[in-house]
Amino acid sequence: MASSLVSYEITHDNIALLRLLGTGKHLLSLALINDFNKAVRRAVDDNVVGLITVHSGNSFSGGLDYNSAPEAVLVGAFASLIASLIKLPFPTVAKVTGQAYGAGFTLALAHDYLVLSTDSTVSLCQNELTEGHEVPSFAVALLSDKFPPSAAWELAVSTVPVAPQITRPYLTTWGST
Query: Phi/psi zone of residue 20: left (φ > 0), alpha (ψ -120 to 50 degrees), beta?
Result: beta
CB atoms within 10 A of CB 144: 14
Give the lowest-confidence range in 15-19, 83-87, 113-117, 147-151.
147-151
Pick the CATH number of 6-174 from 3.40.50.970, 3.90.226.10, 3.20.20.220, 3.40.50.300: 3.90.226.10
Give the per-residue pLDDT at 122.
66
- Name the residue with higher pLDDT: 157 or 102: 102
**pTM beyond 0.85:** no
